[in-house]
Amino acid sequence: MSRTVALANQKGGVAKTTSTLSIGVGLAELGHKVLLIDLDPQASLTYSVGLDPDRLDLSLHDVFVRRTPMEKVIQSVRHLDIVPATIDLAGSEVHLLTRTGREHALKRALASVKDQYDFVLLDLPPSLGVLTINGLTAADDLLIPVACETLSQRGVGQLLETVDDVRAFANPSLAVVGIIVTLFDDRTRHAREILEDLPIRYGIPILQPPVRKSIRFAEAPSLGQSVLDHSPTSAGAEAYRQIARQLSERAALLDQESRKIEEG
């Protein structure tokens, strides 16, 4: 059973793109077939896998605006596949606003390829606009990367309000799986306090372990690599491997339960 997982936080700078790529590579290392979809017009995920957004012939923009089949846009990069983004995706938002059923555009486009993958990971933009709504409507699960700082934490409540709206009108089965704590520095009291407060404040589990701050995360995108490739034995790489393992185990459990229901 394929799982579509969105990573979202409308606060920028919380390592959302880093988390998407790192978890994707971690799942691929476990033997899963993984598709990444870059829904951010800044195209940071596209750049991070080693593609040049300024030189692409086709991108997600073409899927939304020209109705190009998604399979024609997919590119293979090392461990996994990606639907890349370009700055043109900003224009896709305007186009989608004029379409009936606009919040379902991604889900419809994804239907033709989703079953070819074990996991589809969606890197959502740092906003609550139509691209984010499309991602939440297409997703089975939601992960929320949160940096250990007050402004990042405040964004969680606003995102959860949007999740409630999406559940009410477009995707009632959307599950909030957990929070990924990023940029964590346990030497600071502020970071430790936020880590303790998050599950209490929002009632959402923290996926363990927290991902610690490291210069390795800043170095990896310039090489077109994930931190798991660039610094495979680092604490950050191991943290994302553990999170990927939890997602894999959760998917396997859900698949077992689904089979039992089908068998009666």
Question: Structural domains in the chain?
Answer: 3-263 (3.40.50.300)
pLDDT tens for 98-124 read: 888 899 999 999 999 999 999 999 999
Q: Which residues contact 21 (CB under 8 A, 6 or more apart)?
A: 36, 45, 48, 49, 123, 226
pLDDT tens for 231-253 read: 999 999 999 999 999 999 999 99
CB distance 144 to 204 below 8 Å: yes
What span, in angstroms and rounded, lies between the C-alpha atoms of 122 and 11?
16
CB distance 62 to 68 below 8 Å: yes
What is the model's pTM? Answer: 0.95
pLDDT tens for 149-199 read: 766 677 788 899 999 999 999 999 999 999 999 988 888 888 888 888 888
Q: What per-residue confidence (pLDDT) applies to 250?
A: 94
Percent of the chain with pLDDT over 90: 69
What span, in angstroms and rounded, lies between the C-alpha atoms of 76 and 228?
18
Higher-confidence residue of 94 and 175: namely: 175
pLDDT tens for 130-159 read: 999 999 999 999 999 998 776 667 778 889
Q: What per-residue confidence (pLDDT) applies to 150?
A: 67
Q: What per-residue confidence (pLDDT) applies to 178?
A: 96
Percent of the chain with pLDDT over 70: 98
Q: Which residues contact 101 (CB under 8 A, 6 or more apart)?
A: none
Q: What per-residue confidence (pLDDT) applies to 221?
A: 87
CB distance 180 to 145 below 8 Å: yes
Angle at alpha carbon of residue 64, lines to 63 and 70, rounded to 5°: 25
